């Protein structure tokens, strides 16, 4: 993994530099025009967030039942990245909405649950930072709760009436739009892998430091 | 005779007045109606919103990478400080 990390990080950098040019060549959407091109970064950021939540939830479950520090570090890293990618989605979405809906924000089901999901994972970070002893277990419970909420965020547009585009948009994309879209999804997923590797490594170093402190006290 | 003159006068007046009715313009705005959102034609152009969205993603990644680098540096510095202390015991 260490050998592959450098080329992978370079590939992600190249993909993110190329992404605006790839998106610029995608056709305009008939009703929204230029602003619809935010879609190519907005939706992949949610895909990356949902993947990070999946990793966080599964690692949290493992840590709760097996008491694994490695799984805890993975859950911590993935939870932090869920916040990062969720923030991207929550910022790029209103920029798109301002033009296509005429408002920055709408308190409908989809947007409100997405905001609550972001706040859930921010609370997970705060629990770890200020929760004291046993906070890893509490944060794991928050991670599992976040994983349970995620399907509702995805399906909200199909369950409730909302002005947000439906989930049927992605499967029905034309070939000229699907190419740039999946290119951006790949870039975001690889970025998630790179950042997760870095963050897990940081967690491992912090754990090693804690071990050193304990050894010094003994 | 008198009635006939009156009829001619009224008809002439009506005929003269008819163009005035024909060129009537729309009624002037008697009041302003407030709306919550700016009309579509006056909204911001799309390009700044698009550029802001893409720039935000870049900035968010850079800030996060910087935060990891800073935290890693602090851990490494603490480890070095601790390693220097340990042989002295």
Cα distance from B18 to chain A (closest Cα, Å)?
46
DSSP character for A163?
S
- Look at B64 and A84 and tell me if their CB atoms are within 8 Å: yes
Give the structural domain span for A40: 36-217
Q: Could you tell me the pLDDT band of residue B8, with boundaries at 50, 70 and 90?
A: confident
Answer yes or no: is A176 within a domain.
Answer: yes
Q: Which of B52, B64, B79 sits opposite A209 (nearest CB)?
A: B79
Give me the pLDDT at residue A191, please. Answer: 97
Tokens linked to A175:
């070939």
Give me the pLDDT at residue B44, please. Answer: 66
- Structural domain spans, chain B: 45-89
Q: Are A183 and A41 in contact (CB under 8 A)?
A: no
Interface ipTM = 0.92
A46 exposure class (CB count in 10 Å sphere: 0-12, 13-18, 19+): buried
Cα distance from A88 to chain B (closest Cα, Å)?
6
Query: The whole model's pTM is what?
Result: 0.83
CA B10 to chain CA centroid, nearest Å: 57
- Look at A91 and B56 and tell me if their CB atoms are within 8 Å: yes
Over A18-54, what HEC string results? Answer: HHHHHHHCCCCECCCEHHHHHHHHHHHHHHHHHHHHH
Cα distance from B61 to chain A (closest Cα, Å)?
8
Tell whether A41 is within 8 A of chain B (Cβ).
yes
- Integer Cα distance of A64 and A78 in angstroms: 16
Per residue in A17-73, pLDDT (tens digit) is 999 999 999 999 888 888 889 999 999 999 999 999 999 999 999 999 999 999 999
Nearest alpha carbon to residue A190 among A2, A16, A20: A16
Searching chain B, which residue's CA lies closest to the CA of residue A90?
B53
Q: Are A166 and A159 in contact (CB under 8 A)?
A: no
Answer yes or no: is A12 within a domain.
Answer: no
- B/e letters for A173-201, b = 16+ CB within 10 Å, e = fewer, are eeeebeebbebbbebbebbbbbbbbbbbb
Give me the pLDDT at residue A45, please. Answer: 97
Mean pLDDT of chain A: 93
Answer yes or no: is A67 within a domain.
Answer: yes
**Which of 95-154 (A) contact B at CB < 8 A?**
95-96, 98-99, 102-103
Give me the pLDDT at residue A133, please. Answer: 87
Q: Which of B41, B48, B50 to mutate to test the interface with A (most CBs of A within 10 A)?
A: B50
Q: Which of A36, A91, A194 to mutate to test the interface with B (most CBs of B within 10 A)?
A: A91
Total number of domains in chain A: 1
Give me the pLDDT at residue B68, please. Answer: 96
From its phi and psi, is residue A216 left (phi > 0), alpha (psi between -120 and 50) or beta?
alpha
Q: What residues in A contact B61, CB-CB < 8 Å?
A: 16, 84, 191, 195
Tell whether A206 is within 8 A of chain B (Cβ).
yes
DSSP character for B42?
G
Answer yes or no: is A129 within a domain.
Answer: yes
Give me the pLDDT at residue A177, please. Answer: 92
Answer yes or no: is A123 within a domain.
Answer: yes
Cα separations (Å) of A182 from A21, A76, A112?
Answer: 14, 28, 27
Per residue in B32-84, pLDDT (tens digit) is 776 666 666 565 678 888 899 999 999 999 999 999 999 999 999 999 988 88
Residues of chain A with pLDDT under 70: 1
Nearest alpha carbon to residue A180 among A38, A6, A48: A38
């Amino acid at each position: 993994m260490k050998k592959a990390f450098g080329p992978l990080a370079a590939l992600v950098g190249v993909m993110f530099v190329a992404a605006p040019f790839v998106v610029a060549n995608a056709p305009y959407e008939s009703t929204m025009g230029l602003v619809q091109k935010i879609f190519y970064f907005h939706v992949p950021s949610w895909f990356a967030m949902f993947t990070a939540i999946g990793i966080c939830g599964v690692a949290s479950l493992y840590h709760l039942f097996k008491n694994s520090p490695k799984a805890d570090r993975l859950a911590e890293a993935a939870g932090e990245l869920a916040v990062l990618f969720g923030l991207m989605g929550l910022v790029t979405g209103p920029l798109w909405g301002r033009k296509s809906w005429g408002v920055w924000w709408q308190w409908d089901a989809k947007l409100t649950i997405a905001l609550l999901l972001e706040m859930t994972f921010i609370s997970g970070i705060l629990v770890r930072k200020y929760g004291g002893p046993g906070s890893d277990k509490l944060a794991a419970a928050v991670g599992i709760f976040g994983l349970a909420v995620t399907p509702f965020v995805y399906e909200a547009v199909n369950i409730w009436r909302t002005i947000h585009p439906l989930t049927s948009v992605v499967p029905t994309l034309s070939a000229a739009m699907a190419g740039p879209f999946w290119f951006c999804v790949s870039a975001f997923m690889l970025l998630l892998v790179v950042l997760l590797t870095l963050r897990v490594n940081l967690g491992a170093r912090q754990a090693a430091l804690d071990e050193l402190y304990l050894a010094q006290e003994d | 005779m008198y009635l006939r003159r009156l009829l001619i006068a009224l008809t002439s007046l009506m005929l003269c007045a008819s163009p005035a009715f024909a060129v009537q313009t729309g009624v002037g705005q008697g009041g302003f109606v407030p709306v919550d959102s700016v009309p579509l034609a006056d909204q911001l152009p799309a390009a700044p919103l698009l550029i802001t969205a893409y720039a935000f993603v870049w900035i968010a990644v850079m800030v996060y990478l910087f935060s990891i680098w800073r935290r890693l540096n602090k851990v490494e510095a603490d480890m070095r400080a601790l390693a220097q202390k340990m042989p002295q015991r």
